[in-house]
Structure 1
Amino acid sequence: MHKDKDSKPHHHLQPVQAGKGQMAVYDPLVNAGFDDDDTIDLRDYWRILVKRRWTVLAVIAIVVVAALLATLLMIPEYRSTAQLQVSPTSGRVLAFDDFANDPAMQGRGFQEYMNSQIEILRSRTLAEQVVRRENLANHPELNGDIRQRSVLGELRSVLGTVRGAIGPDDAAGEANSARDPVEAAARRLRQRIEIQPVRNSQLLNVSVSSFDREFAALVTNALVAQFIRNNLQRRIEAGTEAREFLEEQLADMRITLERSDEALMDFARDTNIADLDERLSMARTALRRLGDRQSEVQAELVQISAWRDLIDQGRTSALDPIVNSPVIEDLERRLLEANTEYTRLSATFQDQFPRVQEVLGRIAQLEQEIEDRKTTIIENILARHDNLTAQDASLATAIGEREGGILALNERAVQYNILRREFETSRELYDGLLQRMKEVGVAAGVQENNLSIIDAAQAAMFPFKPNLPRNLALALVLGVMGGVGLALLLEFLDSSIRRVEDIERLVDRPVLGMVPLVKVKDREGKQKKRPEIIEDPEQSISFYSKTRPSSGVSEAFRSLRTSLGFSTAEGMPRTLMVTSSAMAEGKTTSAVNLATVLAQNNHRVLLIDADLRKSRLHREFNRPRSPGLTNRIALFENNGKDNGAISPTFIDNLFLMPSGNSTPSPAEMLSSDRLGKVIEGCKRAFDYVIIDAPPVLGLADSLILSRRVEGVIFVAKAGTTGKENFRVCMKRLAQVQAPVLGIILNGVDLDSPEYAYYSSYYYNYEGDSDDTEEDAPKLRQTAT
């Protein structure tokens, strides 16, 4: 079969089971599109609004009328406004900063300051002060005698009257309110106050509303004046509090100053601290000199210690004093000369020679002098080493003593400086507090108010409430919103099947056709959407395909006949069952019209009424109920003869088998094997067998019959068949593997916006709905 590339995948038939000699069985729930499409289509919303336009209009009308009545019931209210300036800082009268200048008023936190002033204007305390000052506690508007009228208020008043007649339940509450009339009046006054800051300025618009224009101006001016008085009083009180605080601080600081002065004097007297600086200078000079002397001694001691080390090592000849001594050098030169002379004489003379003896004596004398000189130098070095060591130790002791003395003097100086700084700090603080207290005293006498009235309130010429155009416009907007919301809510709460798309989302079966809703006229000429069975069979809607072949209903069933011809690979099934979820959904009408269009196509068609509980076909065709199907099952004969159970109808080629006598157990009757033989016999005798079956919900009859036929057609009525019921029916049919061919959507209202497209398709047929059967042959040839 040719497949349209734009067709949806879930419209293809998926075979589940096929036995020998039977057509394929399909599961209508396979690949069912249970997931709703999340795409928002504005046309769907427009369709809903057009469909439920009367609901939307009704809500709009109710809201607008209610707003109109409420507005007309309201007492006119007047509003008086005074303009107030709030300066960020007061004028500087003194050279120093004013104690009352709030840092928040210096620019950085001015917005917070303005918000604080607005809340003060709305405060309970200010309102009570105005009520007391102007004696407003018994004013009719503030004691509750005069109130704004409203629809709800009038209803509450009526209910209050009724409750008062029944019993004084509210007497205690009223008595409590009357105990403090000022508080009650202030509470009502605060409800009438409105504060509006002027953008990008230091101005506030203070407004009070009232039913009396003069009273509104009076209260507004009184409120602003009291606010200014309170602000000035707060600044004066702040100055008084500051002066008292400074006096307390000054007394405490005076005691602290005296104590600091006394401690400083006692310390100076006890430590004789008068010449402390001179003593420190002398001690530091002596310490410096001792240090210099110790450095010199230690430097010389280093050299002497090196020479002593050479002496200890026996290397006296390497000592600098010996090596560099001119005396030893002269003696060594003379000794060298004597040794030279001895050498010369010994070559000639013996040692006993007087001249040799003299030379030898001189040599011995020179050697002794040299040795004595070296000994003297060594002794001097050792003595000098001991002397320097003693000096170094003595200097170290002296330096330590000097440093200890200087440290003690420094500690006294530090303690003295601490006490002196405490005294000086206390004096500075005391002097500052004394000066500040004087300034506060002067500032308290020259306080200025940073609040001023720019425009005083005047009596309003016209009321600001009620505003009829604004209220009606707002009511219109709210009505539209409420109406649209209610329409959408009702639409989404509607769980019935209304469109083809609903079926496509619920089950994977094609919609074989849509049958338009027939609107017949009653005796007064008004249209009715729910036709009843008419005594004349040819006037019944079940026979529209016969009596009105050019109508939309007839065309719908001819289209259904064509769709069934392509429903399977073998063509149109010969045995068909028509069922629905419940009664009054059009299954019988659909079965009769389908049988009619098949008969009009020159086919022998048998229409069987298998609804043994609520049989209807015999009344549609004005035939007796029996003999019929139950009789045929009970008295089955294999010869294929009808035995009176099958009778012709007034429609050519269409025969009827009514339900027959009633049976106490329809399910057992339909589940018998003889029913299958009856259907097979009818199949051999007729081209098509159409079975009008009972509803699926709550009964097993249709499930049993579905296994006896080659195809099942399910009828769903638009706006009646519930989605959940439809889904349950499809599931039950799938469980028994019923060969569901598709669904007929019955009762489609082509005048509804939901079917605007289909309405344009059917309009020609609806326009010719008055045609009679005289035109049927020509139209039948066209259809076939």
Structure 2
Amino acid sequence: MNMIASKLNSADIPQVQEPRVLESGEADAPSALHTYLRIALRWRWVIIGATVICLMLGLIVTLLMTPKYTAAATIEIAREAEQVTKFEGVEREVGAADQEFYQTQYGLLASRTLAERVANALNLVDDQEFFEMFGAPDDPAFELENGRYPASGRAKRQRVAGETLLDNLSIDETRLSRLVDIRFTSPNPDLSKRVANAWAENFIQTNLERKVQSTAYGREQLQRQLAEYKDRLDASQRQLVTYASTEEIINLPGQTQGAPERAIIVDNLAAFNTALSEAEADRIEAEARFRLAAKRGATTEALSNPAINELRARRAEMAAEYQRMMVRFEPGYPAAAAIQSQIDDLDRSIEREERRVTDVLDASYRQAIQRRNELQAKVEGLKQDYLDLRRRSIQYNIFEQEVDTNQALYDGLLQRFKEIGVAGGIGVNNVSVVDFALTPQVPSSPRLLINLMISLLAGLMIGAALAFALEQLDEAIADPTEVERRLGLPLLGSVPRTMDETPKEALLDRKSELFDAYLAVYTSLGFTTEHGVPRSFAVTSTRPAEGKSTTALALATTLARAGKKVILVDGDMRSPSVHHLGGVDHDRGLSNFLAGDDNIDNLTFVMNDLAITAMSAGPIPPNAAELLTGNRLSVLVERLCELYDHVIIDSPPVMGLADAPLIASRVEGAIYAVESHGIRSSQVKTALNRLASANVRVFGCVLTKFEARKSYYGYGYEYGYAYGREEKEAEAA
């Protein structure tokens, strides 16, 4: 027994792993489109309901709204009035200034003054029907006296009438054109037409009046400003001339038209600086020739000197004659000595000529140095003079800038004065009516189709928001794809809900969907350990009635049909259930062994219909956790592993009890049953954390009571469970 226990502890029981929740990116996360589609399918009735409600509200509101009519008058606003005094007739290009101009015109069209002027022109200030149409405020100015409004409240009514017109007016400019639409909306089509046309006409009139007023006022203002700026210009010019004379600042005109003036000293400095550069180049060249003259005959002048070349030629002839004589005579021979004397004289003559050439080069070199030094001293002096001129020119430039500024201001005012003088006698307006408003025949609002489209869009948005909110609040595990994503556990399989038969009856039918599902779980369980299906494991869940007992019974039955010798132990000593499946009582079982009874044969019974052996929970003890804290359960597992191929323990739920962690820690690991649509994932995570704290290895999760028709993609699972069954039933029929 010790050897078997050692094998179980060392080989059969893998290293315990704590269950954990997968981080984002560890598992294959579904795409965003897949997630949105899943949420939409799950909460489709919420989205449909919100959409239908919004559509009904939109329809009701549309039918209850008062029809309104919109009339539109079109005007053209030119950049400025055409200048009849000009013959070319060239129009300005559109730019930033044009945009500013048009925005100003749009603001003037929507001004309060123009609105009140239109209200007075149409006599709307005292029109009772007008104020009743738009709703008159509760004010003494609108209380009738002898069937008419009081005269004392006219100012108040004028302001209210203008605000009412502005509230129902819209100014719509046409892009890339000068056309502007003036639209007015009211329940009365004739009133809409009259207001739109009156608005255009009064805007033209106010524009003309504003031009006349601004022209007269502008001429007076410009005349005063011209006199003032003329005095400023004269004063600044006198100041500039006086300062230039005092500081002896003399500037020459620019070399080209429009070029700035330049000082005389600048030209002098440039000229002397150029001469200095040439003198420096001459000095470098003279120095190079002088350095070469240190070698006798090495200079270009020496090589090209005719006298030196002639002397060298004669010496060469005499040297050749001397060499011929040396063939026959001794050096002391009189004729040879005479030739040698001539050669020495020629050498002295060549040396004198070369020394004369060297003296000439030396004189040229010294001359170049002297010229360079004189020019450099002159340039340095000019530099100092220029810096002094720059210091004296600072104030001169300030005075000159002041003159230029005053001149530019004066020229601008003079030009503006001429323009105003020309435009003052011209009455051409830059605003004209293109189309007058017509009486609208069809209401502009409400628009049933547009309102229904808006209601539909609002309903879909509200429904989507509700669906996302409900999705965030709902923690239920809806289908198998969410098990690994939410719990971080591998999915061993999903088990359908049995409707017309008990789980035991379904397991006895090898063609049932329940049996097929647990067969898939058994197949997945074979890959959880190195030796295949674990020798001993517990089946538990978060809370009761999640299908853990059915899972334990089904796995035991599946293993037995695979030829394995299996025992099912009822580990739930608080609410036992295995004895009901075998049709026995639980007066002897697990609690007896934990209490000290070692006779296992007396504690088990055989379930012949399922071909497995079972052990009931035994008598319910006062405290089941105390029995599980000892080593008796480990001894039981070891002894059962000697007798059976697999030991399966139906464990109690995890939450609220200490039994499940104690039992699962005595076996190789645990299989976790999770009820589909029945429990929150946060509760399951809490329970898994309890198992992890007890160093329990969780092999995987079984999703129980799964209903394919309630799943978002349930048709895929339903097809898997029922594949081939319908064809066989049709053939049998």
- TM normalised by structure 1 equals 0.59
Alpha-carbon distance change, 195 to 30 in structure 1, aligned in 2, over 3 angstroms:
closer
1:459 aligns to what?
Answer: 439
1:110 aligns to what?
Answer: 98
Deviation string for 1:93-124 (max 9, x for gaps)? 557999xxxx9998662232222211221223
Deviation string for 1:510-542 (max 9, x for gaps)? 42222123455xxxxxxxxxxxxxxxxxx3235
Alpha-carbon distance change, 553 to 224 in structure 1, aligned in 2, over 3 angstroms:
same
RMSD: 4.4
Instruction: State the alpha-carbon separation in 1 of the partners of residues 94 and 668 from structure 2.
Output: 94
The residue correspondences of 1:68-217 to structure 2 (distance < 5 A) are 68-94=59-85, 109-137=97-125, 143=131, 146=134, 180-217=156-193
1:584 aligns to what?
Answer: 545
Alpha-carbon distance change, 616 to 250 in structure 1, aligned in 2, over 3 angstroms:
same
Alpha-carbon distance change, 119 to 615 in structure 1, aligned in 2, over 3 angstroms:
farther
Shift of 1:709: 2.0
Tell me whether 195-204 or 721-730 shows the greater mean CA deviation.
Answer: 721-730
Alpha-carbon distance change, 19 to 234 in structure 1, aligned in 2, over 3 angstroms:
same
1:24 aligns to what?
Answer: 14
1:304 aligns to what?
Answer: none
2:453 aligns to what?
Answer: 473
Deviation string for 1:16-46 (max 9, x for gaps)? x973475223315489565354663644543
Which of 43, 54, 67 is the matching residue for 1:63? 54
Asked if the contact 1:78–1:212 (Cα under 8 Å) also holds between the matched residues in 2, the reply is yes
Q: Secondary structure at the match of 1:572?
A: coil
Alpha-carbon distance change, 447 to 22 in structure 1, aligned in 2, over 3 angstroms:
same
The residue correspondences of 1:407-426 to structure 2 (distance < 5 A) are none
Q: Secondary structure at the match of 2:713?
A: helix
Asked if the contact 1:51–1:754 (Cα under 8 Å) also holds between the matched residues in 2, the reply is no
2:291 aligns to what?
Answer: none
Q: Secondary structure at the match of 1:464?
A: coil
Tell me whether 110-119 or 755-764 shows the greater mean CA deviation.
Answer: 755-764
Asked if the contact 1:550–1:769 (Cα under 8 Å) also holds between the matched residues in 2, the reply is no
Instruction: State the alpha-carbon separation in 2 of the partners of residues 132 and 21 from structure 1.
Output: 103
1:762 aligns to what?
Answer: 721
Shift of 1:209: 0.8
Alpha-carbon distance change, 259 to 33 in structure 1, aligned in 2, over 3 angstroms:
closer
Alpha-carbon distance change, 512 to 28 in structure 1, aligned in 2, over 3 angstroms:
farther
Asked if the contact 1:81–1:206 (Cα under 8 Å) also holds between the matched residues in 2, the reply is yes
1:450 lines up with 2:430 in the alignment: yes
1:544 aligns to what?
Answer: 506
Shift of 1:78: 0.8
Which consecutive residues of structure 2, in runs of 5 or more, have no partner in the other structure?
1-6, 136-152, 237-402
Amino acid at match of 1:216: S
1:229 aligns to what?
Answer: 205
The residue correspondences of 1:435-584 to structure 2 (distance < 5 A) are 443-484=423-464, 486-488=466-468, 490-491=470-471, 493-505=473-485, 510-519=490-499, 539-541=501-503, 543-546=505-508, 548-584=509-545
Q: Secondary structure at the match of 1:715?
A: strand
1:49 aligns to what?
Answer: 40
Instruction: State the alpha-carbon separation in 1 of the partners of residues 159 and 622 from structure 2.
Output: 83
Alpha-carbon distance change, 39 to 93 in structure 1, aligned in 2, over 3 angstroms:
same
Amino acid at match of 1:188: T
Asked if the contact 2:539–2:552 (Cα under 8 Å) also holds between the matched residues in 1, the reply is yes
Q: Secondary structure at the match of 2:661?
A: helix
1:629 aligns to what?
Answer: 590
Which consecutive residues of structure 1, in runs of 5 or more, have no partner in the other structure?
1-16, 148-176, 261-421, 521-538, 772-784
Instruction: State the alpha-carbon separation in 2 of the partners of residues 250 and 509 from structure 1.
Output: 91
Instruction: State the alpha-carbon separation in 2 of the partners of residues 563 and 139 from structure 1.
Output: 87
Instruction: State the alpha-carbon separation in 2 of the partners of residues 58 and 514 from structure 1.
Output: 32
Instruction: State the alpha-carbon separation in 1 of the partners of residues 485 and 570 from structure 2.
Output: 32
1:641 aligns to what?
Answer: 601
Shift of 1:238: 0.1
Asked if the contact 2:566–2:612 (Cα under 8 Å) also holds between the matched residues in 1, the reply is yes
Amino acid at match of 2:502: S
Alpha-carbon distance change, 254 to 473 in structure 1, aligned in 2, over 3 angstroms:
closer
Instruction: State the alpha-carbon separation in 1 of the partners of residues 625 and 703 from structure 2.
Output: 27
Instruction: State the alpha-carbon separation in 2 of the partners of residues 505 and 138 from structure 1.
Output: 73
Shift of 1:253: 8.7
Q: Secondary structure at the match of 1:577?
A: strand
Q: Secondary structure at the match of 1:209?
A: strand
Amino acid at match of 2:521: L
Alpha-carbon distance change, 664 to 141 in structure 1, aligned in 2, over 3 angstroms:
farther
Q: Secondary structure at the match of 1:19?
A: helix
Asked if the contact 1:543–1:596 (Cα under 8 Å) also holds between the matched residues in 2, the reply is no
Which of 733, 747, 750 is the matching residue for 2:705? 747
Shift of 1:80: 0.1
Q: Secondary structure at the match of 1:742?
A: strand
Asked if the contact 2:503–2:550 (Cα under 8 Å) also holds between the matched residues in 1, the reply is yes
Q: What is the count of residue pairs matched by the alignment?
A: 534
Which of 688, 707, 716 is the matching residue for 2:665? 707
2:571 aligns to what?
Answer: 610
Instruction: State the alpha-carbon separation in 2 of the partners of residues 486 and 495 from structure 1.
Output: 15
Alpha-carbon distance change, 706 to 125 in structure 1, aligned in 2, over 3 angstroms:
same
Asked if the contact 1:551–1:766 (Cα under 8 Å) also holds between the matched residues in 2, the reply is no
Alpha-carbon distance change, 722 to 31 in structure 1, aligned in 2, over 3 angstroms:
closer
Q: Which has more radius of gyration?
A: 1
Alpha-carbon distance change, 187 to 18 in structure 1, aligned in 2, over 3 angstroms:
farther
Amino acid at match of 1:224: A
Deviation string for 1:287-331 (max 9, x for gaps)? xxxxxxxxxxxxxxxxxxxxxxxxxxxxxxxxxxxxxxxxxxxxx
Deviation string for 1:450-508 (max 9, x for gaps)? 11111111110101211112222333344445444544554455444445444444677
Q: Secondary structure at the match of 1:746?
A: strand
Amino acid at match of 2:550: T
Asked if the contact 1:193–1:207 (Cα under 8 Å) also holds between the matched residues in 2, the reply is yes
Shift of 1:222: 1.9
Deviation string for 1:650-683 (max 9, x for gaps)? 7343454443444443321221233334444555
Asked if the contact 1:25–1:737 (Cα under 8 Å) also holds between the matched residues in 2, the reply is no
Alpha-carbon distance change, 21 to 42 in structure 1, aligned in 2, over 3 angstroms:
closer
Tell me whether 679-688 or 590-599 shows the greater mean CA deviation.
Answer: 679-688
Shift of 1:440: 5.4
Amino acid at match of 1:219: V
Percent identical across equivalent pairs?
Answer: 31
2:363 aligns to what?
Answer: none
Q: Secondary structure at the match of 1:109?
A: helix
Alpha-carbon distance change, 244 to 51 in structure 1, aligned in 2, over 3 angstroms:
same
